[in-house]
Amino acid sequence: MKLKYILYSVTIGAVLTGCNDSFLERAPQEIVDQTYWNTVQDLESYANAFYDILPGGVTNAGDTGADDQVPNSVNTYNWGMYTVPAENGSWSKSNWSNIRMINYFMTHYGTVTGSEDQINRYVGEMRFFRALEYFAKVRTFGDVPWLDRDLNVDSPELYGPRTPRNEVIQHIIEDLDFAIQWLPEGRVSSADNRLTQDVALHLKARVCLYEGTYYKYHTELGLQSESQALLQQAVDASDQLIESGRYDIYSTGDYEHDYYNLFMLDDKSNLEEAVLYIDYAEPLRRHNAARGGMESNAGFSKDFVDRILYADGLPKALTSYPTGDETLAEELANRDPRARQMIMNDAFGSETDPAYSPVGNDNNYIRQWCQTGYQNFKYVSQSQFNLGNTMQTYDGIAYRYAETLLINAEAKAELDIITQADLDRTINKLRDRVNMPHLTVEVGFTDPNWPAAFGDISPLLQEIRRERSIELAGEGFRWDDICRWKAGELLNNVMTYVGKKVSADSEQAQQGLRSEQGYYIVYPNYTNPNLSFQSGMSRTWDDKLYLEPIPSGEIQRNPQLTQNPGW
């Protein structure tokens, strides 16, 4: 069903919102409270406008701010070039507008006539959206003011201090628990594609895993005592989804194509791996994943590719397979099949898409739009690319069951309660899709190349983290993962911003962009020819980057806000 949801999200939403910023500024004045807040339909129409804040579900270059994907130009934030803004930034008025309008709803919905179930369904939707908005703010700033009512210019909360992050998180969980109680049970209906209890459970599991691990590894916060309870809530919420039996990993038994095909399915309304799918259809709603993905100005890093296991389930340092990387075909041979299905290569592209244009010379994988040579192929095909800008209509996946399984496995491993049965219904379900050897509780090896930045964690937790990074590659999770694990020093590794090998006679080599080891140098001004780390030149982590700064103008107007550490 690719029409009804789009109609209400575009037409009703457009009437209510116009452009997002202007609506969020005008809405309280434009809605006539005496006539608007009467029926359940009024609540539904108001809630429709907020569906646009859900993830678009077609992200494939979402990790350029971390270590797994390399943008063509340096990311000024993680390279330490970012300065405290005077105004705006991620604290701008428009960035708080959604919360303001959600709280406006909370102040006014009480006059509506309807059954408790009818009314609370839409209150649950709005509290879900508030939780989503506030979770983003906590990840960005840590402590933030918790506001849960409509304010005016004289409200003292506008000049109050930031609320401690652990208190904000409890409010977020309360909002999600309300949504879980009152939203409809079961899978999202293809008839309307509205939020359900399951979607709220998934987000709750994500929130609790994030904060539970953040508190565990960021000992400077003094919140370790709250970590276990949050991790247990992540377990409980994800267990409930798993045990519902409503979801499964997409698999047809085609190990060499299923992972890629998952993202390219046109209609995902009945996809069991989609906890929430995002509807696209001609002509009302289109996206740009194919052209935007091919022209993303980013590629996977050499470090990411080296992290991918071999077909025997072992890492590069321990596998019995050849580990040569002179060509891309050689590098992807005998690897986890997801590598071949997510990194553009002539063999896979030619066999899956008649419109695919072979790169030919291996040096040509490095090109204008992908300076590492490792182009992400998720949500991308040449046939779709050829349609032009913003012409794709295959559905997206906002919340994927694969993530639910990864949350469950990681939370149980962090709590040291994971069993082989848990692994078999989580990590090994993902591996079965691509016919990779199962992960066992004993693991059976320790990767000697595992980064020291992760600290002293078990081999099992190492492998669960590896699985997460491969399965969700490019989908926008990696920066958040690095922050919650307090693993920012991963970014000091020079191999996180170099590309594939190029030949000695290549154009790249003639330009001085070939390292002594043969790898392509994406940032010559910041990279030594021998790929050695050099303080003051190489990317160097600073712990202040775990949180963004508060704009200085905001602190001048409200000194109670205080600045984040290091800024």
R_g of the chain, CA atoms, integer Å: 24
Q: Among 128, 216, 75, 59, which Cα is nearest to 526's? A: 75
* Six token digits for residue 542: 């600073």
Q: How far is CA 513 from the centre of its chain?
A: 31
Identify the residue with better confidence: 483 or 153: 483
Task: Identify the band that residue 288 occupies on the pLDDT scale cut at 50, 70 and 90.
Answer: very high
Paired strand residues for 399: 276
Which range scores top for mean pLDDT: 28-32, 150-154, 380-384? 380-384
Phi, psi of 209 (to 5 degrees): -65, -45
Burial class of residue 270, CB neighbours in 10 A (0-12, 13-18, 19+): exposed
CA dihedral of 139, 142, 143, 146, whole degrees rounded to 10: 0
> Three-class SS of residue 127?
helix
Confidence bin at 10 (pLDDT 50/70/90):
very low
Q: Could you tell me the pLDDT band of residue 30, with boundaries at 50, 70 and 90?
A: low
The DSSP secondary structure of 52-119, one letter per residue, reads GGS--S--SSTTTTSSSEEESS--TTTTT-----SS-GGGSGGGGHHHHHHHHHHHHGGG--S-HHHH
Q: What is the mean pLDDT of the chain?
A: 93
Q: Which amino acid is it at 234?
A: A
pLDDT band for position 2 (cuts 50, 70, 90)? low
Work out whether the CA dihedral 157, 163, 167, 173 comes out positive or negative. Answer: positive
Give the length of the chain: 567
pLDDT in tens, 303-349: 999 999 999 999 999 999 999 999 999 999 999 999 999 999 999 99
Distance between start and end Cα atoms, the chain:
49
Residue-wise pLDDT for 365-422, tens only, equals 999 999 999 999 999 999 999 999 999 999 999 999 999 999 999 999 999 999 999 9
Which residues have CB under 8 Å from 156's CB, separation 6+?
none
Residue 276 near residue 398 (C-beta atoms within 8 A): yes
3-state secondary structure of 29: helix
Q: What is the mean pLDDT of residues 286-311?
A: 96
DSSP letter assigned to residue 11: I
Closest C-alpha to 95, from 137, 132, 59, 32 = 137
- pLDDT (tens digit, 9 = 90+) per residue, 73-127? 999 999 999 999 999 888 988 999 999 999 999 999 999 999 999 999 999 999 9
User: Looking at the predicted structure, is the pLDDT value of residue 12 above 90?
Assistant: no
Tens digit of each residue's pLDDT (9 = 90 or more) over 131-140: 999 999 999 9
* Residue 562 token pair: 């205080």
pLDDT score for 25? 37
Alpha-carbon gap, residue 309 to 467, rounded angstroms = 9
19 Cβ neighbours under 8 A, 6+ residues apart: none
